[in-house]
Amino acid sequence: MLIQVLFEGLVMGTIYALIAMGIALVWGVTNILSFSQGEFMMLSMYLAFYFNTLFGLDPVASIPLVMAIMFLFGAIVYKTLISRALKGPKLSQRLITFALGMVITNGMLMTVGGQYRSIPNLMFQGSIDLGFLMVSRQKLVPLAVSLIVTGLLFLFMDKTKVGKSIRATAQDKEAAGLMGINTENAYMLAFGISTAIAGAAGCSLTYYYYIYPAVGAPFLIFGFIAVCLGGFGNIAGAFLGGLIMGMVDLFTGSYLSTTYKYLAVCVIFMLTVSFKPKGLFGR
Amino acid sequence: MKKLLIWTLVITMLLGTVGCAGNSGSSNGSTATPAEATPAEAEKPTDANAEITPEPEVVKIGLLFPLTGTNTQAATEVQYMAKLYEDAINGIVDINLPFHDVEGLPNLGGAKIQIVLGDAVTPDIAMSEAERLITEEGVIGIVSTGSANTKTIMVPAEKYGCIVLTEGTSQSLTEAEYTYWGRSFPGDDSFCRDTFAFMDYMQKEEGADIKNVALVCEDTEFGANMANTLRQYAAEYNFNVVEDISYSATASNVTSEVLRLKKADPDCIIMSSYIADSLLFMSTYKEQNYFPKMLIGQRGGFSASDFITNLGDASNYCLSTARWNPDVSGELGLELAALFKEKYSGGIDLVGDVLTDSWNIYMLAIIANQAGSTDPDAMRAAMSEGIYVDPAQDPTGSLGYKYAENGQNEETSAIVIQMMDKARHTVYPAAVASTECVYPAPNWDAR
Amino acid sequence: MGALLEVRNATKYFGGLKANEDISFEAEAGSIVGIVGPNGAGKTTLFNSISRTHPLTSGQIIFNGEDVTKRKPFEVCKLGMGRTYQIPQAMEDMTTLENIMVGALCHRSSVKAAEERAKEISEFCDLSEFNNATASSLNVMQKKRLEIARALAGDPKLLLLDETMAGLNGIERTNAINLIRKINANGITILMIEHVMKVVMSVSEKVVVIVSGRKLMEGNPNEVTSNPEVINAYLGGGHNAGCQ
Amino acid sequence: MKLRASYNRHREFLTTFMIVMAVLIIVPMFIMREFAMNVLILCTIWSIMGIGWNIIGGYAGQISNGHALFYAIGAYVGAMTMKWFQMTPWISMWIGVLLSMVIAFVIGTPLLRLRDHYFAISTMALVECTRIIFLNWKLIGAATGVSFFYKKLPTWYSWQFANKHPFYYISLGFMALCIILTKAIESSKFGYYCRAIKANQESAESSGIDAAKYKRRAYMISAAVVSVGGALHAQYLQYIDPAVLLPLSNSMLIVLVCVMGGVGTVWGPVLGAFLMITINEYARSFFVQFSGLNLVIYGILVIFIVLFLPKGLISLVKKDTLINISRKLMKKLRATS
């Protein structure tokens, strides 16, 4: 059972991490706490669902497409709302994302209704029984996607010029501006990328979770906690934070109490920040 | 500033004492129960109507369901059903339901039915909406669901006098001594009793060996109450509870819950879950390639239409307690279900909870009609006497409607259904059963 | 008069990096002491250690005969040590007057009295025309004066001025110098960082030269300017010992 | 003499206060629609919560996303004391206030060290913890919640009236007190210090402000006020359970009413609450058949306010408008007499 729990913890961890990284990116670059991340994920879950029902695309196959769409969507959202809000006080930046989330959720509720949906004919199904470990293909997908996306994100941030410019902007907007980096674009890119990540998260989540307009909310808070646990706007931190949460979640759930598993997550988080106010890996 | 704080305290204290004093002296009148106090009020549309025209043109019935938030599907389906009923009463569709042959409600001068919606996403909003429905819309009664919501809905309902029929199953409702509250179908208590009675029956008649049960209940109002009642009856019917899990309904995963169950390996798992989490549980069982010999859901997710539409054949062998199933009330039930699916719901099957929830609309109409007035007290009196519904015209197949002092209809009982090839079949009690219960359920790989 | 401020072997490490090492000097009550040194010599670090913005690695700060090494910033402020920042730290969305009032409230509990005092101070630092303007609307020079005003409003015994002159033109600079003289005339001891030598020389009785985290020397302006090491250090530091 | 002086100092506030209160007292006397009264009551309750949050979030600039915690504490203390000892809210409310102040003190000490987003998220996490604990705490009714619906008790004692007006005036009274409290804080040393901390913590500390202490104090006061709001709401609902009191949306709504009105202002939260709640309630009743539309509208409204009125609705109201109005009225009266 221990190995099973470890494995499942890893899976959940990577899923949390995937959501967390999106938040971390926006936070790190634009210093906005994005409450709409969960709703972006929900949107992309619906996208994946409709691609499947209309064109028979498997969620995995539709990931690039969905990511592209979500990137555009994110960029538009940034241009129309966020960039304006950035001029205002910090609080209104946070609230605008919250309100946006509200609009998206209920907009979906109005248009597609509150029915619970799932994708019937998935490409990867069933489980592989290794005796000591039961590996479910449906969970391997999020795991794989998360790892790949993380890898790509790191490469992008470290190797490419754009990524560097984003990081520079995150470090010090003024300086970056003086160095001739178009910080506005960097911000927009960062936001777009984070929504794209939400897209990937959404697609892979359809593999084991159900689709309904309010699906984003429960994942959001875990995303936040993971980011904070990891440390300020630090993507690697967010990833590790996510992993830790997944482990805590599964271990308390399986060995101590299912009732208090999220309590444990929150408590551990709060203890961490009260001793390390900038999170585990915070600068 | 400290000073000011102190002053604030002092002033409020004074206010308080004055308030109490003033009350104890003068306003014995106002200390009367809200119910009594209400007639004195100027604005009470129901009364107003009653005075002007004793038989209103149209009788409004309030429908308080969650229209936003996470559980909106049931509300949507109930609305479809309500439409069907309206048409039936107003003679647009021809199906053998009460009043289908007459225009509107005979004893109320042929008054038509009109449904007024309210959003009951959380108890506080539910209360606000109930206020609106009663005082603004002047509904003669409210149909609601969910125990937590009903508790706040009852506050204005008791205050202004307005009948509330709800399928919130919680014990706490029957214990609350409401005047205007009624429940036409079983509550937690009888659902839980029948669950174990059924398992007992399976043991005795079918020779099923069920000893160890596991309780899996979500951790809000619904689940917590079920858990308490289930434990109590488990002891009574001496089954031993090997695992007692309470989990969060908005969980991001239920893997650890399932792993625990797998470890405990009970003969029967009894689940009280909402739709999202019940689906999540099912898929997780499948992942872990684990399925108990018997799995009984306590309505909730298991009696929602989404359950089968999402799981398809994966839903086979799942049992659930229920209030109604198309096959229990013979021809009429099936006819109604068919009509609903074809004309009203756009292909969604008619499930027990939707029928019963919406049947309360019909009940209110029948009650008002029998009482011959929309006055809440008259209606309540009629409810206590017992409401007559021609069995031939009653799709719910209830034995009768006689509401006890605590509001519970005494002449109703629960059934147990089993899901097989995308349909629900009644398996208990034997009297109404349409098929045998398949036991034990095969594991996933053996299907 | 004895020493108002006494710094004993102040040493500050940031991780492995030695910002200050074993710096000791005294500031006589009522005097003006200048701290000079090339950029990155650790002047501001020393200031932060004195005003307790960050703790010392080792060494002692004796203020007004009391060891304040372990005190918190707001405590030393209450004891009568006011400071300004190299990059002005105004309370942007409050008005100028309110900024000064915050300082004044340090020793007054009544807002009204604080307001009176603040008015005087802003008069004294000729900021009164901006009293009702938000701090964010002031220019750098005005902000620097605002900082001095806020520090003064707390009736300090000792005033720490961090690069008050940097980026000021001739006239502004003379105004500033006059202001400093005026303040000192009210018996307030002043400890100022500058690397514009001329200013320091013109006002201060004692100059402490810090080069790469160590005290190179201290003495009166003439001694300092005539000291070859100092000049060398400045030139070495790529700076012009004379005045920009 | 002294009074006169202080009157002059706060002339604008006092006139505004008088006028607003006069309106809020007189107008409802002619409102006979219970639903309208219901909305008004919710407005007053939420303004109290907004005011409470405003003290820590608006003045001291520590953006807490977890004030539902104190709302819940206030509500639960009210509910439990009523259920166990049938204690009158007039008294139990103050127990709630004390309790939340104590709790605010305890959790404030570690949490207030955190800066902006960290503080926000840890307060959110805190609420989540409380929710889970309350859901499973048998003593206080766990998930079943607490319903306390007593017909027997005298109405002025139990606050369970046959009609809405008395309750409205009670909560209006508390709202008035909270407004005065805010004003007092704003124009006190404490208020200045809070704003200084919000504006620039470092320089605040270097000008003699014990930031930690003042932040904690602000947190405690705001907790107290919010718990008053909670107590009122509980008494109004007469049923509470963790699912009602402690979802994220409640914490956000508390922030929302305040920000919509205008943070760091005396009247902001009140204005915000009255507007947002009214719109929300009526939007719901109008668009109820398209489930969700009301919230979409609400959300869009918020976005617009945030974008085009970053200082909140209060920035639409000019300084001493009401004074001028009152002056005009006075003139008219003189003219007529």
Cβ–Cβ gap D207/C101 under 8 Å = no
- CA A193 remoteness from chain centre: 11
The C-alpha atoms of residue C228 and residue B290 are separated, in whole angstroms, by 87
Residue D218's pLDDT is what?
96
- Range of lowest pLDDT (A64-78, B149-163, C230-244, D166-180): C230-244
Lookup result for tokens 């010029």: A161
Query: 10 Å Cβ neighbour count for A211?
Result: 22
User: Range of D222's domain?
Assistant: 11-20+33-282+292-336
Measured in residues, chain D has a length of 337
Average pLDDT of chain B to the nearest whole number = 83
- Reduced to 3 states, what is the DSSP secondary structure of residue A133? coil
The 8-class DSSP code of residue D148 comes to -
Name which of D224, D278, D19 is nearest D108 in CA terms.
D224
Average pLDDT of chain D to the nearest whole number = 89
Residue B23's pLDDT is what?
36
Cβ–Cβ gap B289/A4 under 8 Å = no
- CA D291 remoteness from chain centre: 28
Stated as kind and residue range, the H or E segment containing B241 is strand B240-247
pLDDT score of D150 more than 80: no
**Based on the domain organization, do B299 and B424 belong to the same domain?**
yes
**Based on the domain organization, do B294 and B439 belong to the same domain?**
yes
CATH homologous superfamily for the domain C1-80+156-244: P-loop containing nucleotide triphosphate hydrolases (3.40.50.300)
- Reduced to 3 states, what is the DSSP secondary structure of residue B349? coil
- Range of lowest pLDDT (B7-21, B220-234, B428-442, C50-64): B7-21
The C-alpha atoms of residue B44 and residue B47 are separated, in whole angstroms, by 5
Residue B379 inside a domain? The answer is yes
Residue D333's pLDDT is what?
79
Question: b/e map of C89-121 (b: 16 or more CB within 10 Å)?
Answer: bbbebbbbbbbbbbbbbbbbeebeebbebbbeb
Average pLDDT of chain A to the nearest whole number = 90
- D234-247 per-position pLDDT tens digit: 999 888 989 888 88
The model's pTM:
0.89
Q: Which of A116, A217, A250 sits opposite B279 (nearest CB)?
A: A116
Asked casually if ipTM beats, i.e. exceeds, 0.90, the reply is no
The amino acid that residue C199 corresponds to is V
- Which CATH number fits the domain that encloses residue B352? 3.40.50.2300
Stated as kind and residue range, the H or E segment containing C13 is strand C3-14
Residue D286's pLDDT is what?
85
- Range of lowest pLDDT (A167-181, A187-201, B2-16, B277-291): B2-16
Question: b/e map of A114-125 (b: 16 or more CB within 10 Å)?
Answer: bbbbbbeebeee
Q: Which residues of A, range 244-273, sit inside 8 Å of D by Cβ?
A: 259-260, 262-263, 266-267, 269-270, 273
Reported confidence tier of residue D1, pLDDT bands at 50, 70, 90: low
Residue D149 inside a domain? The answer is yes
The amino acid that residue C18 corresponds to is K
pLDDT score of C141 more than 90: no
Residues sharing a CB contact under 8 Å with residue B204, sequence separation 6 or more, in sequence order = none
Residue A123's pLDDT is what?
83
**Based on the domain organization, do B197 and B106 belong to the same domain?**
no
pLDDT score of B38 more than 50: no
Residue A38's pLDDT is what?
93
Return the percent helix, strand and coil in chain C, to nearest 5. Answer: 40, 25, 35
Q: Which residue of A has its CA nearest to B72?
A: A114
Cβ–Cβ gap D293/A110 under 8 Å = yes
D-chain residues near B35 (CB < 8 A): 151
Stated as kind and residue range, the H or E segment containing B367 is helix B352-371
Helices and strands per DSSP (H, E), number in chain D: 16, 2
State the count of interchain CB pairs (< 8 A) between B and D: 167
Phi, psi of C165 (to 5 degrees): -90, -15
The C-alpha atoms of residue A198 and residue A27 are separated, in whole angstroms, by 14
User: Range of B53's domain?
Assistant: 45-186+330-393
The C-alpha atoms of residue C9 and residue C20 are separated, in whole angstroms, by 9
Residue C235's pLDDT is what?
58
Residue B9 inside a domain? The answer is no
- B206-243 per-position pLDDT tens digit: 888 899 999 999 988 889 889 999 999 999 999 999 99
The amino acid that residue B363 corresponds to is M
Cβ–Cβ gap B13/D90 under 8 Å = yes
Query: 10 Å Cβ neighbour count for C55?
Result: 10
Reported confidence tier of residue B22, pLDDT bands at 50, 70, 90: very low
D interface mutation test: which of C91, C100, C107 has the most D CBs within 10 A? C91
A-chain residues near B251 (CB < 8 A): 218, 262
A-chain residues near D298 (CB < 8 A): 102
Number of domain units in chain D: 1
Cβ–Cβ gap D155/B127 under 8 Å = no
Query: 10 Å Cβ neighbour count for C24?
Result: 14
- Reduced to 3 states, what is the DSSP secondary structure of residue A128? strand
- A121-132 per-position pLDDT tens digit: 888 888 888 888
- B51-61 per-position pLDDT tens digit: 444 555 888 99
Query: 10 Å Cβ neighbour count for C131?
Result: 16
Cβ–Cβ gap D136/A224 under 8 Å = no
The C-alpha atoms of residue D331 and residue D333 are separated, in whole angstroms, by 5
Phi, psi of B42 (to 5 degrees): -70, -55
Q: What secondary structure, in 3-state letters, does B87-141 show? A: HHHCCCCCCCCCCCCCCCEHHHCCEEEEEEEEECCCHHHHHHHHHHHHHHHCCCE
Q: Which residue of D has its CA nearest to A114?
A: D291
Please tell me which residue, D101 or A131, carries the higher pLDDT value.
Answer: D101
D interface mutation test: which of B38, B76, B131, B226 has the most D CBs within 10 A? B131
- B108-130 per-position pLDDT tens digit: 888 888 889 999 988 889 999 99
Number of domain units in chain B: 2
Cβ–Cβ gap D190/B118 under 8 Å = no
Cβ–Cβ gap D207/C77 under 8 Å = yes
Residue D25 inside a domain? The answer is no
The C-alpha atoms of residue D104 and residue D107 are separated, in whole angstroms, by 5
Q: Omega before B429 cis (within 30°)?
A: yes
- B76-107 per-position pLDDT tens digit: 899 999 888 888 887 788 888 888 888 788 88
**Based on the domain organization, do B212 and B258 belong to the same domain?**
yes
Residue D270 inside a domain? The answer is yes
The C-alpha atoms of residue D114 and residue D119 are separated, in whole angstroms, by 5
Would you identify the CATH topology of the domain A2-275? ABC transporter involved in vitamin B12 uptake, BtuC (1.10.3470)
For D298-323, what is the mean pLDDT?
Answer: 84
DSSP line for B24-91: HHT-TTTTS-HHHHGGG-S--HHHHHHHH-SS-SEEEEEEEE--SSS--HHHHHHHHHHHHHHHHHTT
- CA B322 remoteness from chain centre: 11
Cβ–Cβ gap D205/C72 under 8 Å = yes
**Do at least 3 CB pairs under 8 Å connect C with B?**
no
Q: Which residue of D has its CA nearest to B71?
A: D291
B interface mutation test: which of D41, D42, D241, D245 has the most B CBs within 10 A? D241
Q: Which of D157, D189, D241 sits opposite B148 (nearest CB)?
A: D241
Residue D304's pLDDT is what?
92
- CA D319 remoteness from chain centre: 23
For C154-174, what is the mean pLDDT?
Answer: 84
Residues sharing a CB contact under 8 Å with residue B169, sequence separation 6 or more, in sequence order = B147, B183, B186, B187, B188, B191, B222, B225, B299
pLDDT score of A234 more than 80: no
**Based on the domain organization, do B67 and B171 belong to the same domain?**
yes
Lookup result for tokens 């519970």: B408
Phi, psi of A256 (to 5 degrees): -105, -75
The C-alpha atoms of residue D151 and residue D162 are separated, in whole angstroms, by 10
Residue B62 inside a domain? The answer is yes
For D287-297, what is the mean pLDDT?
Answer: 85
Q: Does A268 touch chain B (CB under 8 A)?
A: no
Q: What secondary structure, in 3-state letters, does D165-219 show? A: HHHHHHHHHHHHHHHHHHHHHHCCHHHHHHHHHHHCHHHHHHCCCCHHHHHHHHH
- D18-45 per-position pLDDT tens digit: 989 999 999 999 888 888 999 999 999 9
The set of chains that have 3 or more CB pairs under 8 A with C is: D
Residue D162 inside a domain? The answer is yes
Residue C216's pLDDT is what?
85
Q: Which of A89, A227, A260 sits opposite D132 (nearest CB)?
A: A260
A279: left (phi over 0), alpha (psi -120 to 50) or beta: left
Say if residues A248 and A265 touch (Cβ distance below 8 Å): yes
Residue B56's pLDDT is what?
56
Say if residues D67 and D227 touch (Cβ distance below 8 Å): no
Residue boundaries of the structural domains of chain A: 2-275
pLDDT score of D109 more than 70: yes
Residue D181 inside a domain? The answer is yes
Distance from CA of C104 to the nearest CA of D (A): 9
B-chain residues near D285 (CB < 8 A): 129, 132, 136
A interface mutation test: which of D64, D67, D122 has the most A CBs within 10 A? D122
The 8-class DSSP code of residue C206 comes to E
The amino acid that residue D236 corresponds to is Y
For D198-205, what is the mean pLDDT?
Answer: 88
